[in-house]
Each structure stands twice: as C-alpha cells, then as structure tokens.
Structure 1
Amino acid sequence: MAAALAALGRAAGLAAGPGRLLRACGATCAAEGGLARRLSSAERPKRPLTAYFRFVSERQGPLRRQHPEMSNTELVKKLAGDWRELPASQKQVYEEARKADWRTYEEQLAAYKAQLTPAQAAALKEERRKRLAKRRSFRKKRELTVLGKPKRPRSGFNIFVSENFQKSVGVSPAAKLKQLFETWQNLPSSEKQPYLQLAEDDKIRYENEIKSWEAKMAELGRQDLIRSKEQQPKKKTAETVQEADRAKAPLRGKKAILKLKKSEE
C-alpha cells in the first residue's frame, strides 16, 4: 500500500511524508546508563496523509473495481489526472481533513519525543540524516541514469574479475572475489598487461563519451553536472597509467570484498 501511494504521489508531482524508521540507540544508550528500551516505527506517531493521498486512498479502490483491466501505471495516471481536474472547493475538503489530523499528529509527536532520552533522540536524528542522505544519493544516481551519463571506466583489476569470476573457486561471491584479488596480486606483469591496456582503452572511451555528454548538459543548462577543471583528469603517459592502476587495484579489491561481505550479512 505504501509503495503504491508513493508511486501515485510521484505521478501527481506531490509528496507525502514517509514514515520514520526508528531503531535501537544501541551502545550509545548503554554508555549513558543501562540498555535503553528498543524503539520501533510502530511507536512513533504516523505523519498524516496529504490532501492528494487522501483523495487517492478514497478513490483507488472503486476505480480499480470499475476498471479491473487497468494496469498500475494507467491507474496512477488516471487518479493523478482526476486530482488535477478536481474543483478547488472539493480539494479544500481533503485539505481541511489533513489540517485536523495534523494538529492531532503534532500533539502526539510532542508527547512521544518527551519520553525519549537524549541518547535516543540523538540516535534517531542521526538515523534520519543518514536516511535522507541515502535518498538524495539514490535520486541523483537515477537522474544521471535518465540523462544518459556514461559509465565510468573499469580498472585492469575490474576487467580481470569480470572475465574470471564465474570460473573462480569460492563458496560465496566474497570468497571468489578474495581469491581473484590474491591471484591478481601475484599475477606476472606480462599477464596483467592485456588487462591494463583494456583499462586504458576504456578510459579513452569514457573521456570521449563524457566530453560529448557534458556538452549536451551545457546546452540543457545543467552546468551543475559538468566537471570542473580540477576534476578533469590530467594527461598521463602509458607508464604512469599502469603504475596508478597497479597502486589502486589492491585498494579497489579490498573495497569490493568488504562491500560483498556487508551485502551478505
């Protein structure tokens, strides 16, 4: 239900506040005097629906029953269109209901916050900051994908992994990656060279594509997406490129292993 409402909100160009996910304050609370009571999202008052989402929750059931052949996308567009065409006087009814619920919500939220310890309040604030940062990052990546930003070049180690991952030995992806990382470190320079050359070719591909893409962004007035001169790579010789790739490969390998391990936990 929440996911469906979120999709409907995006279609109408509106937003309803997401519910707050609350977690245990953990070690911070323990340090201030005993293990604190665990918090859950069910304990925190829920933010009231916006006027638009009230309209959606009221209309989507009857509309679905009336038009069972409609896809979810068509249903979203239909409801968004109906809302835009709704007379202001009828929209006001939903808005007044929202205001009434909002007053109740603020009272309940104040009472809820009053029972939190300073450590709990700090932990929840930090959780919200991380959640919002993650959401902004996701939206940014999605926007760049829609705008067709070229994929970043791969390193020699990345190419080596992609070619050998399936046949590598390991009971898990993390184990396979660790084994490939060790193999790469012990690989003779002559055997690394083809991968390093492919990486260099990919860098050239990326630079050509990113320059063309940035020119298009400039035409669209999106200078905020264009790299500054400091961010643009300096010209390098083949030797310095290989040296840099050899230096970075172990670090990239370790980061990839840690990322895979974290995803498996």
Structure 2
Amino acid sequence: MSFLSQFTRLSSNIGRSYRNALSNSSNVLIPVQIQTINYTKKSAEEKLGIEKPKRPLNPFFRFMTQMTPSLLTKVPGISTKEAIVWSSKHWQQLDSETKLQMKKEYEKDWEEYKKMKAVYEASLTEQQKADIKRTNEEMVSAKQRRKLKIEYKEMGKPKKPMSSYILYTQSRKDVLPSRQLKEYQDKVKSDWLNLPHSERGKFEKQAQDLMKKYHKDMDAWEMKMISMGHLHLVRKKSPRKAKVKIDKEKYQMASLTYVFRLSNHLLGGYRNVFHGRTNWLPPILQTCGYTRKSPEEKLGIDKPKRPLTPFFKFMTQMRPALLAKNPGITSKEAIAWSSKHWQQLDSETKSQMHKEYEKDLEDYKKIKAMYEASLTEQQKADIKQVKEDMVVAREKRKLKAELKEMGKPKKPMSSYFLYAQSKKDLMQSGNMKEFQQKVKTDWLKLPESEKTKYEKEAQDLMNKYKKDIQAWELKMISIGRTDLVRQKPPRTKTVKTQ
C-alpha cells in the first residue's frame, strides 16, 4: 500500500488530544473542525458486519491526520505530493518534547489495542473465521483482476466489439436528449424487438464483421505478448471436455464403476435370498475394494453410506462369484452377465429386495440427518476445502496427461542427475538407497574439472529445452490451445516505504 493510501485509510481515526500540543509547537495549525476523509475500501470484517478493533495510529501518521485538514483549508489547491512533503518537513521540525508525549500516548493506546484484539479474536466463531478468510481471498482476487485490467489497457489489448443490439442503441442516440435514461432504454428495446429482419440483419452483419476483425487483432496481440514474455496476459482457455455420448454400453460401464465405489457396503439380508436360488453362489462373498477416498474419509469423519439399490446390490453380490468362476472375464462381459441374470430374476425376489431397500433408505435418511446436525462449522469448512483440493488435483492430473499427449518437451536433467545416470552400472551390485548414497558421496568428491563437463551438458540441454518449449507454445497458440501455455504470475510493483 502506498504512503498516501495508508494515510487516507487511517485518517478516519479520532485525532485525540495531540491537537493542542501541536498547536503550541506549530504556527501553521488553524483551529478548524477536523473533517474525516471517507475511504470507500472496506475491510473483510466491515463487509461481514463484524466490529474489529482498529489499530492505533503511530505518532507520525496521527500528526499527518491532524495537519491535513488545516493545510487543505489554507491551501485548497495543494497537490497530494506537496501535502506529503509539507507534513514530512514539519514533522522533522517538531520539538522532541512533543514527539515524546505523542509516543507515550501511542504506547498506551497500543497496549489497550492488544487487549481488545485478544478479546475480539477469542470471540470469533469458526464460521466467522472461515468467512473472513474467504472474503480476504475474494478481495485479493478482485485486486488482481483490477491490476490485470489496467495492464491490459497499458499493453493495448484490443477491445471486444459491441453486439448488434448495442450497435443499434448507439445509432439511436438522437432519442436520448429528450428522454431520461430509463425511458430511452425502454424505447430502444421496444423498437429493436419490432425492427424488421432486413434492418436487424444489417446490424448483425456489422457486429459479425467487427467480431472477426477483433479475433484477428486479438491473435496478433497475443503473439506479440508471447514474444515479449507476457504470457500471463494471454487468454487462458478452459481444457476442452470430450462430448459424452450416452449409449447402453457406456451406461453399463458407468454402472460398474458405481458398483466398485459402493461395494464396501454391507450386503444386508439379500445374500440368503440369492443363495437359495443360485447353486453356484459361495456362502462367503468378498467385497470389491475401491481405492478412492471421499473427503470425509480423508478427514477421519464417519459419514453414513447410502444403501445400494436392489440392482446394484445384486451386481455387488454376483460379481465375486462370477470372478471366482471366470477369472479372466472382462468388465464388459461381467456387466452383460449381471444385467441378463437381473432380468431373469423372478418378481417375488425383486419385490422383497425393493421392500428391504426402502427400509434401509429410511434408516439412512435418519442417520444422515443426525450426522449433518453433528458436524461442526469447522468440519463443514474442512470438508468443503478437501473437496476443492480434490477437484484441483484431478484437474492437474488431467492437464498433465493432456500435456503429455500434446507432446510437450520434457524438462532436462540437472548436472547431478546426468552424473547419476552415468553411474547406473553401480546399481546392479546394491539396492537403491545404497546406490543413491554412493553417487552422492562421489559427486561431492568429484573434481571441478569433471563436474564442469556435466554442468556444461546440463546447460546445453536446458538451452535446447527453452527453444523447444517456446516453439511448442507458439504451436499451441496457433491451434488455439492457449490453456496449455505456461502462465506467468502478474508482476507486482515494488512499493518504496518512507
């Protein structure tokens, strides 16, 4: 935050009793009523309606807060820079006795503030802390977007053209002077809806031509940004998602995945029903393991599991016996077999399964309601956070697979790993840990002349990699896959503090 921003933000505090002390020491102070300066930016706590104790102004900032109103009254047209210079100059001229008095009062206020802050922090609930954290993150994100918008403007990013309706609105500006804005908007909207298709087509064609020109200008601008190294200004497209074609085969495959995920449930009372009707079903059924964990399982929270529907429970029970009888059977064949035998199952057994499922579902709803009521706000926030982390991790895995598929150049090895690779013959005589220790010891004792060879080789490989990655990124830009191009973080300006 700049010096002026800090001053403006802190100027809403009360000037307290220093005004008289300064009045005796400086002949430029005019006794006027101090007007507080409104600052539109709100803290996260203010946005949430939480009263947070304010940090006391240090002596210098309080001096500036008191001096500014009188200075603006005396010199209304003074610039910000001149006001800061004036305050700094008079602060240096202030006598040490007054400064010492201000410092003592500041230390007293600081002690009171620390006590109030401790009470405030202890009074916050877990939900309030989570809300404050989320609001702060949103404010940081909004700030970054504003900075990025300014940088776009400075770098001459092409402006997106107007739509056909906005172009028509612009052509009707002659209607505005005689009407209020709302009346003008309603009038133009009504005329647009009643406009003949032949007239509307002109504006639509104009908008389409402008959009084509915009796309060309945008591509050229992005290529320019890439060449200048401003990759963070290039559009980042979301990864393309393959269209899902719903057919019977894929639906059955999805069903099998669902069975694997839910197969750790208790099989319930249906086992005896099936065992009496199928002579090949073994008495002890093995459930299929599913490695993926839910957010609750990762956090060690026991969440009640939804009961299997009759059909999925049938598949869960049949699968172990089927795999025992036909070990080499494929998933597709197993699904087809289960679906066929489910259709052949008599209605009496199905009816009994449905009744037991409905009973299990009612029990599940009650247990789920108790579970949700027992969760603390912190647990809910943790579950939400873990879910978001899982989504991010999944997107990273998808992106990694896509980068490999699109042939992204692989980053070369360092000089140390090149040396380790040249010593692979030592691996045959020992285990991995011994090999790593041996190579590490040899590398540290290696003469500089020998080490330089590997460092030069690593440097040559890195130079080649940089050229290859730049060529690959230009290729991705040309085919419209800017989402695969490296994104540099926005540059932050260094703030000089006084």
TM-score, normalising length from structure 1? 0.50
1:155·1:199 contact (CA, 8 Å) conserved in 2?
Answer: yes
The reply to whether residue 186 of structure 1 matches residue 194 of structure 2 is yes
- The AA in structure 1 aligned to 2:235 is R
Matches within 5 A, 1:8-157: 20=43, 22-23=45-46, 39=49, 43-47=51-55, 72=79, 74-75=81-82, 105-116=113-124, 121=129, 123-157=131-165
CA-CA distance at 1:205 after TM superposition: 3.1
Question: Is 1:205 matched up with 2:217?
Answer: no
Shift in Å at residue 45 of structure 1? 1.8
| Partner Cα separation in structure 2 for residue 230 and residue 124 of structure 1 | 29
Q: Secondary structure at the match of 1:152?
A: coil
Change (3 A) 1:230 1:24: closer
Aligned to 2:5: 6
Gaps of 5+ in 2: 9-40, 90-105, 240-476, 481-498
State the match for 1:219 in structure 2. 227
Pair 50,153 (structure 1): closer, same or farther in 2 beyond 3 Å: farther
Q: Which amino acid aligns with 2:194?
A: N
Relative to 1, partners in 2 of residues 1:153 and 1:116: Cα closer, same or farther, differing over 3 Å?
Answer: same
Offset from partner CA, 1:180-223 (integer Å, 9 cap, x none): 33432332210112211221232233233323322332233111
Q: Which amino acid counterpart does residue 111 of structure 1 have in structure 2? A: V
Query: What amino acid maps onto 2:43 in structure 1?
Result: R
- SS for the counterpart of 2:175 is coil
- 3-state SS of paired residue (2:43): coil
Question: May I ask how many residue pairs the two structures share in their alignment?
Answer: 199
CA shift for structure 1 position 19: 5.9
One-letter code aligned to 2:79: N
Q: What letter matches 2:4 in structure 1? A: L
* 2:175 is equivalent to residue 176 of structure 1: no
Aligned equivalent of 1:244:
none
Residue 230 to residue 170, structure 1, CA distance change in 2 (3 Å): farther
Displacement of 1:136 in angstroms is 2.6
CA distance in 2, matches of 1:159, 1:123: 42
Residue 69 of structure 1 deviates from its aligned partner by 10
Specify whether residues 218 and 131 from structure 1 end up closer, same or farther in structure 2 by C-alpha distance, changes over 3 A only.
Answer: same
CA offset at residue 139 of structure 1? 2.1
Deviation at 1:125, TM superposition (A): 4.6
CA distance in 1, matches of 2:198, 2:77: 60
Residue type of the alignment partner of 1:150: P
Distance in 2 of aligned mates of 1:233 and 1:170? 50
Assess, with a 3 A threshold, how the Cα gap between structure 1 residues 219 and 8 changes in structure 2: closer, same or farther: farther
Provide the secondary structure at the position in 2 that maps to 1:44.
coil
- Aligned residues of 2:175 and 2:184 also touching (Cα < 8 A): no
More relative contact order, 1 or 2 (CA 8 Å, 6+ apart):
1
Question: Is residue 163–residue 207 contact of structure 2 (8 Å, CA) maintained in 1?
Answer: yes
| 5+ long unaligned stretches in structure 1 | 10-17, 26-38, 83-97, 236-265
1:3 CA drift (Å): 9.7
Provide closer, same or farther for how the CA distance between residues 162 and 168 of structure 1 changes in structure 2, counting only shifts above 3 A: same
- Distance in 2, matches of 1:219 and 1:208, equals 17
Say if 1:45 and 1:109, in contact at 8 Å, map to a contact too. Answer: yes
Compute the displacement of 1:158 (Å).
Answer: 1.4
Tell me: CA distance 1:188–1:171, structure 2 relative to 1, closer, same or farther (3 Å): same
| Identity value in percent | 24
| Letter aligned with residue 222 of structure 1 | H
The one-letter code of the counterpart of 2:82 is L
Give the distance between the partners of 1:129 and 1:151, measured in 2 at CA.
28
Instruction: Work out the CA distance in 1 between the residues paired with 2:77 and 2:177.
Output: 48
Tell me how large the CA RMSD over aligned residues is. 5.1
| Contact 1:46/1:105 (8 A) holds in 2 | yes
Q: C-alpha distance in 1, partners of 2:196/2:479? A: 28
**C-alpha separation between the residues in 2 aligned to 1:115 and 1:78?**
42
- Mapping of 1:154-173 within 5 angstroms? 154-165=162-173, 167=175, 173=181
Q: C-alpha deviations, 1:146-178, integer Å up to 9, x for none?
A: 222121121111111222255169975345334
Whole-Å separation in 1 of the counterparts to 2:197 and 2:81: 57
Q: For residues 213 and 22 of structure 1, do their structure 2 counterparts lie closer, same or farther at Cα, with a shift above 3 Å needed?
A: same
Larger gyration radius, structure 1 or structure 2: 2
Q: What is the CA–CA distance in structure 1 between the aligned matches of 2:2 and 2:181, rounded to whole Å?
A: 31
